[in-house]
Structure 1
């Protein structure tokens, strides 16, 4: 599942290629045909991300205020993806849930978990369910710090809970805990507040790099030695997907286990 930096980068890209332009919107697959018809011909006003959720804003042609504005909410889930091509787009291939075509560029969405019309109330309710997003400007980490400080759940589970902090996936979870030298099984309430605040700051910095570069970068320069990436075209990591390999810092074997249905990776020597 794409992590939050991917969604923010996607929102910026769609804003850049469609923003301020009238667009044709359709659902070649048919599952979103009614929703697509509502915004078809409207101006693509903006795109934004909240954690792992993409929100597209549309306004009626010839208007500038909020009257008549509509939104589309997309959650890519495990299999969703957008593909882009110059306009006019060729005949759709596969199960295209949503097609957006501007004057110069078009994009097709396939396989999302969610693709639906949203109202302002829907958006408010979504935001209320999410923890702070490290990539949102002026995001306040206070709710995350408070939730972790009172929880008996493992810190490794809390960081994956979108109600605690939005946009964090398995890679960032594993890597920021390693960088902070925190055992992922420690109860949230046992982790000093200053350490949790440092994790937040690290997430902000690392995820901004992810947006800027288009890929995750987590290994500090002084530690960037030893084994390469866990797979071709994947980031070099400290522990993620490196089970059974030596830790880059202490050479202890990296461990893995399942926590709340997701694979967890950590170094039992460095993370205490």
Structure 2
């Protein structure tokens, strides 16, 4: 499932390429034909990302709500103006990252997690960044042909955004948008960070639910998915089965602050980088390969990177939970 960093990156792409332009909207798949007809020809005037949901406002006050869910993704093609921060974090401007690692060349994930043109669930996209490319593949025709089941196509004179496989794609009134957002937990990139911390701590500390489930509850905190859940718990050395109300307050606060930091890194790099203090070569490997990027996620049966104990995996509310029974005892 695309996690919070991906949705914020998507919003940046929309802000750069769609907002301020009139949009031709269609539903090639047909499942959003009525909604597409309402926004067709209107100007996109504002975009917001909150947790795993994006809200795009069309003139004068019609909102498109998109929740990618498990399998959704946006594919961008045509002339795609890349956010400067995102481009730099992918090595295209040769900057030094916050850990002191110099990125002189693009470091691109073969699985496409940090793709600048296809953001969401991993997929083999028609147009995307990959290890073999340093830019967008040439378009043979415009508008580009529809490939696969496209729920919604938004087309400007120069840029195309195709939505595939979302859990939710609907139009909302301003009041409905406010009500939707009100049900979500704090998002470090939207809410005041200090106020968000207090909300998060207060909610967790009164819940009998296991902390491993609370971190995935979007009403408790916005944007955390399976990867960030496992990694935040490990970094806090917190047993995922402990009821929220029994987790020490200082640990709950530390997890919030860790989420603030990891989310910012995810937005900047396009990757869920959760390991710290890597030397330049290790950092480059981690950016290029998911297996070198995480402490416990997707490492079931392998030795813990810290203590050597076998990493466990179990089902938790229908999702896989990875953890070290020694470090997180």
TM-score computed with the length of structure 1 as normaliser: 0.90
Change (3 A) 1:133 1:77: same
* Native 8 Å contact 2:61 2:174 kept in 1: no
* Native 8 Å contact 1:97 1:109 kept in 2: yes
What pairs up with 1:2-21 in 2 under 5 angstroms?
A: 2-21=2-21
Partner of 1:217: 273
Q: Does 1:73 align with 2:60?
A: no
Partner of 1:97: 151
What pairs up with 1:39-78 in 2 under 5 angstroms?
A: 39-59=39-59, 68-78=60-70
Instruction: Mark the runs of 5 or more structure 1 residues left unpaired by the alignment.
Output: 60-67
Indicate the SS of the match to 2:163: strand
The CA distance in 2 between the partners of 1:145 and 1:233, in whole Å, is 31
* Native 8 Å contact 2:185 2:222 kept in 1: yes
**Displacement of 1:41:** 1.3
Change (3 A) 1:20 1:235: farther
Indicate the SS of the match to 1:141: helix
Q: Deviations over 1:171-195 (max 9, x none)?
A: 0000011111111111111111111
What pairs up with 1:162-181 in 2 under 5 angstroms?
A: 162-181=218-237
Q: Does 1:262 align with 2:319?
A: yes
* Native 8 Å contact 1:217 1:235 kept in 2: no
Change (3 A) 1:195 1:111: same
The CA distance in 2 between the partners of 1:198 and 1:232, in whole Å, is 27
Higher relative contact order (CA 8 A, sep 6+): 2
Question: Which region of structure 1 is more displaced relative to structure 2, 139-148 or 168-177?
Answer: 139-148
The CA distance in 2 between the partners of 1:234 and 1:3, in whole Å, is 18
Partner of 1:65: none
What pairs up with 1:186-265 in 2 under 5 angstroms?
A: 186-221=242-277, 232=289, 236-265=293-322
**Displacement of 1:132:** 0.7
**Displacement of 1:99:** 0.6
* Native 8 Å contact 1:45 1:58 kept in 2: yes
Partner of 1:62: none
Partner of 2:176: 122
Q: Does 1:151 align with 2:151?
A: no
Note the aligned Cα RMSD (angstroms). Answer: 1.9
Q: Deviations over 1:231-252 (max 9, x none)?
A: 9556611001101111111111
Indicate the SS of the match to 2:208: coil
Q: Deviations over 1:25-52 (max 9, x none)?
A: 1112222111111111111112211111
**Displacement of 1:205:** 0.5
**Displacement of 1:218:** 0.4
**Displacement of 1:151:** 1.2
